[in-house]
């Protein structure tokens, strides 16, 4: 059938079908060599409707491409995981809205429990950059992690030895941070490692105390990030603990065995005086 007929029967626009062809999601059954017209088969309607349904669930196009490459049972599990994450993010937005309503009405809301810990002096290899929204933030994180896959470094024990990211400014569609990824390295070999990674900056950080919120090993959405940040600010205000450094720190502690399905133990922290 023609692209117009296929668009009508699938519920997708012709422009969407052309885009999905370019992205390798749904290629025409045949393209006329002389005219360039696209023709689709009846059997492709099911896949087209699946793509349309997944877009209604706000699955990104890259995620849809991954789902289409899976066996049905694995694809169903992936869709279930996506919806569970969407529900968790919706719940976090509800909690954030409730917190804002209470704050504006002069009430104190219980959000996340805040603890404190001591962080020793350490040497850090860092990559700092302004980013284009959350997608840019994740892309920078992947770039940073990939450096150490190519040139492995010795792992340092505990939370103080885990990689972390400092949000020096808000990251959203309206603000570009910047953010800084940091990897602690043994101080006695810091100069050696800095030579191995000329694209990274080496700096030292003094020992300090941190207030932190632990979110555990799970996927964290933007609303949860905001709730954790607000919890730290509220705690600092109540305890008259002025942050000694700007920027919320997000630490990712990965516990072996590490698989594609595992999530690092994530927490938010801010240095306090």
What is the token pair recorded at 250? 């997000």
pLDDT digits (tens, 9 = 90+) for 192-248: 999 999 999 999 999 999 999 988 776 677 778 788 888 888 888 888 887 766 688
Taking all residues of the chain, what is their mean pLDDT, rounded to a whole number?
87
What is the token pair recorded at 182? 């940091």
Residues in the chain, overall count:
273
Q: Give me the pLDDT at residue 230, please.
A: 83
Strand, coil or helix: 266: strand
Whole-number CA gyration radius for the chain: 23
The CB density around residue 230, as the number of other CB atoms within 10 Å, is 18
Q: Give me the pLDDT at residue 218, please.
A: 65
Q: Is the pLDDT assigned to residue 157 strictly greater than 70?
A: yes
Question: Which architecture does CATH list for 115-272?
Answer: Alpha-Beta Barrel (3.20)
What is the token pair recorded at 72? 């049905």
Q: Which of 208, 128, 192 is nearest to 160 (CA)?
A: 208
> Quick one: the chain helix, strand, coil %, rounded to 5?
45, 25, 35
Domain ranges, ordered by start, for the chain: 3-68, 115-272
40: confidence class by pLDDT, cuts 50, 70, 90 = very high
The CATH code belonging to domain 3-68 is 1.10.1660.10
Q: How far lies 179's CA from each of 45, 92, 152, 176, 267, in Å?
A: 44, 23, 23, 8, 16
CB 6 within 8 A of CB 41: no
pTM for the complete prediction?
A: 0.67
């Amino acid at each position: 059938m023609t692209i117009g007929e296929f668009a009508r029967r699938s519920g997708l626009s012709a422009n969407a079908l052309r885009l999905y062809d370019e992205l390798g999601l749904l290629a025409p059954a045949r393209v006329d060599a002389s005219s360039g017209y696209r023709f689709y088969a009846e059997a492709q309607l099911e896949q087209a409707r699946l793509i349309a349904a997944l877009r209604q669930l706000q699955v990104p196009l890259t995620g849809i491409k991954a789902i289409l490459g899976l066996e049905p049972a694995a694809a169903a599990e992936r869709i279930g995981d996506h919806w569970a994450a969407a529900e968790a993010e919706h719940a976090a937005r509800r909690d954030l809205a409730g917190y804002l309503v209470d704050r504006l009405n002069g009430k104190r809301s219980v959000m996340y429990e805040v603890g404190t810990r001591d962080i020793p002096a350490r040497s850090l290899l860092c990559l700092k950059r302004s980013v284009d929204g959350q997608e840019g933030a994740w892309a920078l994180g992947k770039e940073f992690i990939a450096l150490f896959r190519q040139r492995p470094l010795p792992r340092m024990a505990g939370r103080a030895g885990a990689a972390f990211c400092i949000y020096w400014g808000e990251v959203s569609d309206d603000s570009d941070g910047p953010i800084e990824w940091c990897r602690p390295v043994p101080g006695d070999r810091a100069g050696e490692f800095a030579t191995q990674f000329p694209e990274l900056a080496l700096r030292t950080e003094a020992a300090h105390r941190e207030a932190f919120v632990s979110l555990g090993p799970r996927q964290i959405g933007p609303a949860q990030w905001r709730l954790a940040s607000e919890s730290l600010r509220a705690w600092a205000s109540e305890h008259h603990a002025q942050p000694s450094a700007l920027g919320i720190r997000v630490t990712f502690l990965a516990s072996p065995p590490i698989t594609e399905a595992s999530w690092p133990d994530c927490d938010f922290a801010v240095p306090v005086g």
